[in-house]
């Protein structure tokens, strides 16, 4: 198993009021599969992904990545894990408006590789997701679809074991959604990694191996869900890749 959340809860304070965003959420993601979680705006999807990726700690429950308890790790060990094993696809782009996409995608590699090698791998990552032509472009010049694919390349360039993507189909047309979701599914299968994504609407989920619905902080199980799949359900007509 690549990722497992067990009875995870998370709250935030907004002024004097405490708001519970996640309530006893359990979720598993296996290597070789793409899991999609659907929910309306404000349902807690982004918080779920941040907790799953180790970017935020839950108030209660356990988050395990490759059988390692993220809550029991030191800050330094957790940072190394996030840098080497978990790819987070950012939606905001680079901090500098002048940075070309080839160098933006290469950034995660610069602490461990030469600039030349990092750029070579960056070019390969951009080509892999189908936007090699964006290598010399800048973030503000890209379309929404190109930004999504560049963000995925940025997260994938380190060859992580888990890829986490927040609403990759938001603001995309139907054909772009098909392209992005097909890419995420094939990436999970071909690279044998776990992919966890959130989606803003039901049609975006058709390429996922498994799906779940987040509402009022709870990851819901429709009738007929397998008890072995925690709070995520099989999508009709889709098989799941064998767990690693």
Q: What is the DSSP string of 20-62?
A: EEEEEEEEEE-TT-EEEEE--TTSSHHHHHHHHTTSS--SEEE
Separation CA 238–CA 234 (nearest Å): 7
The pLDDT of residue 113: 92
Q: Can you state the angle between helices 144-156 and 115-128, rounded to 10 degrees?
A: 130
The pLDDT of residue 234: 44
Please state, as a whole number, how many other Cβ atoms lie within 10 Å of the Cβ of residue 4: 20
Please report where in the chains the tokens 């429709």 appear, as a residue: 222
Give the chain's mean pLDDT: 87
The pLDDT of residue 230: 47
The pLDDT of residue 179: 92
CATH code, residues 1-85+162-244: 3.40.50.300
The pLDDT of residue 97: 87
pLDDT tens digit sequence for 40-49: 888 899 999 9
Query: Are the beta carbons of 238 and 63 closer than 8 angstroms?
Result: no
Query: Are the beta carbons of 193 and 162 closer than 8 angstroms?
Result: yes
Separation CA 72–CA 75 (nearest Å): 9
β-strand partners of 220? 213
Residues near 151 by Cβ (< 8 Å), separated by ≥ 6?
89, 90, 91, 93, 165, 168
Please state, as a whole number, how many other Cβ atoms lie within 10 Å of the Cβ of residue 215: 12
- Given a cut of 50, the residues of the chain with pLDDT beneath it are 221-244
Domain residue spans of the chain: 1-85+162-244, 89-159
Residues near 43 by Cβ (< 8 Å), separated by ≥ 6?
214, 215, 216, 217
pLDDT tens digit sequence for 28-82: 999 999 999 998 888 899 999 999 998 999 999 999 999 889 988 888 888 888 8
């Amino acid at each position: 198993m690549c990722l497992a959340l067990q009875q995870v809860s998370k709250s935030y304070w907004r002024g004097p009021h405490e708001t519970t965003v996640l309530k006893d959420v359990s979720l598993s993601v296996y290597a070789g599969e793409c899991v999609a979680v659907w929910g309306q705006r404000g349902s807690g999807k982004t918080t779920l992904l941040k907790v799953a990726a180790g970017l935020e700690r839950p108030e209660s429950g356990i988050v395990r990545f490759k059988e390692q308890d993220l809550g029991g790790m030191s800050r330094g060990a957790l940072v190394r894990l996030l840098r080497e094993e978990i790819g987070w696809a950012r939606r905001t782009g680079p901090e500098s408006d002048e940075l070309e996409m080839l160098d933006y995608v290469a950034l995660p590699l610069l602490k461990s590789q030469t600039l030349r090698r990092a750029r070579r791998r960056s070019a390969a990552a951009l080509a892999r997701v189908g936007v090699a032509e964006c290598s010399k472009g800048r973030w503000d010049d890209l379309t929404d679809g190109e930004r999504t694919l560049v963000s995925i390349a940025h997260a994938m360039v380190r060859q992580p074991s888990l890829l986490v993507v927040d609403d990759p189909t938001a603001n995309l047309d139907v054909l772009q959604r098909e392209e992005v979701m097909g890419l995420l599914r094939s990436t999970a299968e071909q690279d044998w990694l776990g992919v966890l994504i959130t989606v803003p609407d039901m049609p975006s989920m058709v390429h996922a191996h498994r799906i779940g619905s987040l509402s009022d902080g709870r990851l819901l199980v429709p009738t007929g869900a397998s008890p072995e799949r925690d709070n995520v359900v099989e999508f009709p007509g889709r098989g799941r890749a064998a767990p690693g």
